Amino acid sequence: MHPVFYLSHGGGPCFFMEDSSYPISAFNKNSQVAKWYKDFEKNFVSRRPKSIIIISAHWEESSVHITSNPTPNLYYDYYGFPKHTYSLQYPAKCDVDLAKKLHSKFTSSGIPAVLDPKRDWDHGVFVPLLVMYVPAVQQHD
């Protein structure tokens, strides 16, 4: 069993900004919060996880939707930030087999769930992972 963490992603792409004119400048790329994320694995995880399950608050549906897109793109669901924050890349793959297992667990427990092959990763997913796990966690065979 691996530990479970609740992590905020900060404000939009804040960990990739240096500009102090934004209201979230206390959480820029040089902040203590960004350093905490960069040191997360070293301080809290004894070995790199094979997979990571994220529940994003930026994904509101009438039932549980589970990303099953093997190569999700990034969905830049934030607005008014510097241009470079709309070209961030995070090429990690989705563990489709794990997505199917999660779907089965939900549905066998009576919880409506859908495998969604079109859903990409919103900033609630890629912002913290891009800071915490560089290079990206890749699907293991």
Is residue 41 within 8 A of residue 132, CB to CB? The reply is: yes
> What proportion of the chain, given as a percentage, has pLDDT over 70?
89
Domain region containing 124: 14-132
3 or 80: whose pLDDT is higher?
A: 80
Residue 141 has pLDDT above 50, yes or no: no
pLDDT value at residue 92: 84
Q: How far apart are CA 31 and CA 35, in angstroms?
A: 6
Residue 117 has pLDDT above 90, yes or no: yes
Q: How far apart are CA 98 and CA 92, in angstroms?
A: 14
Evaluate whether residue 5 is within a structural domain: no
Tell me phi and psi for residue 42, to 5 degrees.
-60, -40
Helix (H) or strand (E) holding 115: strand 113-116
Residue 137 has pLDDT above 60, yes or no: no
pLDDT value at residue 20: 66
**10-31 average pLDDT score:** 81
**117-123 average pLDDT score:** 92
State how far Cα 21 lies from the chain centre. 26
Evaluate whether residue 1 is within a structural domain: no
Evaluate whether residue 139 is within a structural domain: no
**49-65 average pLDDT score:** 85
Length of the chain as a residue count: 141
Evaluate whether residue 117 is within a structural domain: yes
Evaluate whether residue 71 is within a structural domain: yes
pLDDT value at residue 101: 97
pLDDT value at residue 1: 65
Evaluate whether residue 24 is within a structural domain: yes
Evaluate whether residue 140 is within a structural domain: no
Evaluate whether residue 62 is within a structural domain: yes
Tell me phi and psi for residue 30, to 5 degrees.
-105, 10
**20-38 average pLDDT score:** 82
Domain count of the chain? 1
pLDDT value at residue 21: 66
pLDDT tens profile 74-111: 999 999 888 999 999 988 889 999 999 999 999 999 99
